[in-house]
Amino acid sequence: MKIAILGSGGREHAIAESISKSKILKKLYCIPGNAGTNLIAENIDIDLNDFYEIRKFAKDKNIKIIIVGPEKPLVDGITDFLEEEKIKVFGPNKFCAQLEGSKTFTKLICKKYNIPTANFGIFKKKDDAIDFLKISKFPIVVKADGLAAGKGVYICENFEESSNAVVEIFNGKFGIAKQILIEEFLKGDEMSYFVISDGKHFKNFNTAQDHKRVGERDTGKNTGGMGAYSPSGLINKELEKKIIEKIIKPTFKALYELGNNYKGFLYAGLMIKNNEPYLIEYNVRMGDPECQTILPLLKNDLLEIINLCVEQKLDKSYFINWIDKKSLCIVLCSKGYPENYIKQSEIQNLNNIKKEKDTHIYHAGTKNKNNTIVSIGGRVLNIISVSDEYKISREKAISVIKELNWKDGFFRKDIGFKIIK
């Protein structure tokens, strides 16, 4: 079958590599793709905001399934738009995508369906939010309501930090702000929990631990993700049962009662305290870089799973199996990220790297230019290694980065520090 993947990051490269191995694949396209996907698929230069051109391409090429990688097209309604023309899409519709597109939408569902989460307040006026902060206890969390590429969350230690966050959001740092969310700071350990759903059935799709902060030991500004490892060291059978019964099932029930069925990946960002899960946020797609960390552990044919989802046949008789190893990803970034970073920097040694069997390099912010590969994003490459121990995986990933010797890049050397002793 012919498949098109929407997106240009490391997540999409990882999905493309996994799908490229499928026995049922006939032709793979990436829209627009990057310098890495270009090696395993045909890149198509179409703007992800141009739904009409994407639809025309899908019809002209007789695409069987369009897999949507990033969140923005989903939140903007690409699934609904394409399905109107009977084009099959793997990814939730616009209504369900509000789980990520509107933090207040998710919080109100949590409140109505008793899903454990932090106490919160929703504010539509800057002055009201600041007045609330004057009587609040710290630390406290201030969140932009809409999409913010993983950077719209402020963990504030005092009134000055929190009021500055409110002003930045209402002044349009992440786009027009109609309202913001202020919530209590939950103490515990974070974990990413993934499921895949066909609209009727869902299955666990492994766990991971992300590292959002730019600096070592989780310091500095928030980013889209500096690295991850999978599986999470926190998961156990009792905890997983609680996650499913208290968080995942009530969420799908809420959407169903609101007239919608969820189809695609769902990523629950959780805080774990005393083996109890609390929902921090939802993402309506695979995480990035969690996806790059998880997929190398998958035993099944990913395209087969996705096809079952779009056909609503992911029932109890189908089992998803995983390699019993430790996967760790380090994100190589352009100097200056997450602020003003270096662009158009040539990555000279990339094609000379001798990868081991369980080592993967996924392109995130790259493009081909005059027979060279240059950086165009803040997060540029993802280096993943799989082994029997997280420590070994990290050492192998770092050795690949050192071999690259890219002068304009930087990375965190401590990914997995909470689990690697």
pLDDT in tens, 244-300: 999 999 999 999 999 999 999 999 999 999 999 999 999 999 999 999 999 999 999
CA–CA gap between residue 225 and residue 65 (Å, rounded): 28
Q: How far is CA 26 from CA 1, 4, 29, 70, 294, in A?
A: 5, 11, 10, 24, 24
Cα first-last separation, the chain: 46
pLDDT band at residue 47 using 50, 70 and 90 as cut-offs: very high
DSSP bridge pairs for 267:
194, 283
Which CATH fold would you assign to the domain 2-91? Rossmann fold (3.40.50)
What pLDDT is stored for residue 149 in this prediction? 64
**pLDDT 10s digits, 157-190:** 999 999 999 998 888 887 777 888 899 999 999 9
Q: Is the pLDDT of residue 78 over 80?
A: yes
Take residue 305 and report the two structure tokens written for it.
């799973």
**How many percent of the chain have pLDDT more than 70?**
99
pLDDT band at residue 86 using 50, 70 and 90 as cut-offs: very high
Identify the CATH class of 326-410: alpha beta
Take residue 69 and report the two structure tokens written for it.
């990688």
pTM listed for this prediction: 0.93
Amino acid at site 139:
P
Do 119-184 and 189-310 agree at the fold level? Answer: no
Amino acid at site 61:
K
Take residue 338 and report the two structure tokens written for it.
């997450």
Q: Is 109 helix (H, G, I), strand (E, B) or coil?
A: helix
Q: Is 96 helix (H, G, I), strand (E, B) or coil?
A: coil
CA–CA gap between residue 408 and residue 406 (Å, rounded): 6
What pLDDT is stored for residue 357 in this prediction? 85
What pLDDT is stored for residue 354 in this prediction? 77
What pLDDT is stored for residue 151 in this prediction? 64
Take residue 345 and report the two structure tokens written for it.
């920097």
Identify the CATH class of 119-184: alpha beta
CA–CA gap between residue 231 and residue 294 (Å, rounded): 8
pLDDT band at residue 19 using 50, 70 and 90 as cut-offs: very high
What pLDDT is stored for residue 421 in this prediction? 81
Give the residue extent of every domain in the chain: 2-91, 119-184, 189-310, 326-410
**pLDDT 10s digits, 106-132:** 999 999 999 999 988 899 889 999 998
Pair 373, 367: CB distance under 8 Å: yes
CATH number assigned to the domain covering 189-310: 3.30.470.20
Pair 335, 410: CB distance under 8 Å: yes
Take residue 51 and report the two structure tokens written for it.
């739904």
What pLDDT is stored for residue 135 in this prediction? 84
Give the residue-averaged pLDDT of 213-239: 95
**pLDDT 10s digits, 298-321:** 999 999 999 999 999 998 889 999
Torsion on CA atoms 407, 17, 148, 78, rounded to nearest 10: 140
Give the residue-averaged pLDDT of 383-388: 98
**pLDDT 10s digits, 318-327:** 999 999 999 9
Q: Is the pLDDT of residue 150 over 70?
A: no
Give the residue-averaged pLDDT of 4-8: 98
Q: Is the pLDDT of residue 94 over 90?
A: yes
How many CB atoms within 10 Å of residue 120?
Answer: 17
> Torsions phi, psi of 220, nearest 5?
85, -165
